[in-house]
Amino acid sequence: KPNIVFFFVDDMGYGDASCLNPEGKIKTPNIDRLAAEGMAFTDAHSSSAVCSPSRYSVLTALQLAITLQKGIVGPYGDSLIAEDRLTVPAFLKQHGYHSACIG
């Protein structure tokens, strides 16, 4: 099975990784190597301008604005994801993957 590495980065633009912008000011050799040895998706869009709905979408493959009609989560707030909702990490676990969130 292929490894899946998903970077969810605040304030990083399309041209900030040197594999996508060789003329950029910051060199990113490790990201460049991952892109060269794997896949780089270059046409992705955020589901929201704020973090909670965007993270919800990444974890559930659903749009928060459509499914729950709620805003953002405050510090140490309750999860927006229902306990019975299948998440992407849980789906991957059912297929033999292990997942981690670092950040």
**Tens-place pLDDT, residues 23-69:** 988 899 999 999 999 988 888 777 777 777 888 888 998 876 666 65
Looking at residue 53, its pLDDT comes to 80
pTM above 0.85, yes or no: no
pLDDT bucket at 14, cuts 50 / 70 / 90? confident
**Which residues have a Cβ under 8 Å from the Cβ of 2 and sit 6 or more positions away?**
38
Rounded Cα–Cα distance for residues 79 and 52 (Å): 10
Predicted confidence (pLDDT) at residue 89 exceeds the cutoff of 80: yes
Looking at residue 94, its pLDDT comes to 97
Q: Is 17 exposed, middle or buried (0-12, 13-18, 19+ CB in 10 A)?
A: buried
Cα 42 to the chain's mean position, in Å?
Answer: 13
Nearest residue to 88 (alpha-carbon basis) of 28, 26, 6: 6
